[in-house]
Chain A
Amino acid sequence: MLKIIHFVLAIVIILPVYAFALDGTKLLREIDRNLSPESYESYRKLINIEPDGAKREFTLFTVKKGIDKVASVFLAPASEKGRSTLRLGDNMWLNIPNVGKPIRITSLQSVVGGVFNNADILQLDYATEYDVSKVEEEDAGYLLHLKAKTKTVAYDQIKIRADKQKKLPTKIECLTEAGMLIKTLYFKDVKDFGGGLVRPAVIETDSPLYKGYKSVMIMAKVKKRTFKDEVFTLTFMPNLESLR
């Protein structure tokens, strides 16, 4: 009889915990989908702001398909126009029209300088590269602790603060394996892009490694679109602008 009472008590205590525990992976996938459709096209302006206020701007057209394919082409300034970047999983390439052939680049480099690196510019879904190790529920939102699935991912750990209602990130901290802060991304200006996509239009970033510097990414015309796999190949890189 005592055993039965213990069993019933255990069920009564444990079941609600399981029933209402947050499914971190599901939540992360929801955040990914709220940020962008799985396959889409978008325009972005990147602004690097120096401590003295001087700015440098880049405009890119970006296409993404599925969980591991993303490509971008620079539209401005004139010195960068026609440069294109491609990411297939962990592989990244840069094609410079004059040099002619795509060269392999690394996720920690930056084709635009500033605080954003190539992994930020050619961003895949967070759920593709990270596992959720812990979720904390706070008053206004969630705090997700993510851990990189492989060593090839740019940041070993990520902390995402997300709005509870909108399930959109408000702040992301990128950390090394030792927990050192590399950069912080701030998501601002939530905007309706049409097609049911409501997401932050501005991402600001700063880094203790680049004191006084700031980089900003402004999104425009983010819309769902499907592409053939052949778009995401080295051979297609010089033709990316034809997709506009």
Chain B
Amino acid sequence: MQKYTIAVLVNNQSGVLNRVTSMFRRRQFNINSLTVSETESEKFSRITVTYEAEPEMNHQIVTQLYKLPDVIKVKELNKDDSVNCELMLIKVKNDPAARDDIRTAAEAFKAETVDYTRESVIMRITGDSRRIDAFITLMQDFEILEICRTGVVSLERGSTTIAQLDD
């Protein structure tokens, strides 16, 4: 199994996300993370999907996606040629005994404190998934109350865009 990140440029219409995720479900492919948003053009949305698959399965995923009329382009993004990023909010119990350690860890990771009460603290951290995983591991020394991750967003390095991709 290999990790894949793909960007799918689709028509910005209701139901399209459902068509894309339904294909993954139908073909028994498991999605690790998914992000969707409008793009530089209001006509299109960009869906970023990460998943693990065998190379033949990945061929299936890409070719099956291209069969959906609402899918304009599918771009595989490899780690070296792209910028990958996700954002996490993490809520940790603000135990007086742990306060200093939490603050030190947050500073080391440049995690920003966005909510602070006597009982809990919420930190915001961005970066690639591995960095975020590492921060979670660190926070496991304390009591994690809630985690919310956006999933990966990814852009190819350099001036080329997904819209310029050949069919």
Chains A and B bind each other:
no
Name B residues whose Cβ lies closer than 8 Å to a Cβ of A: none
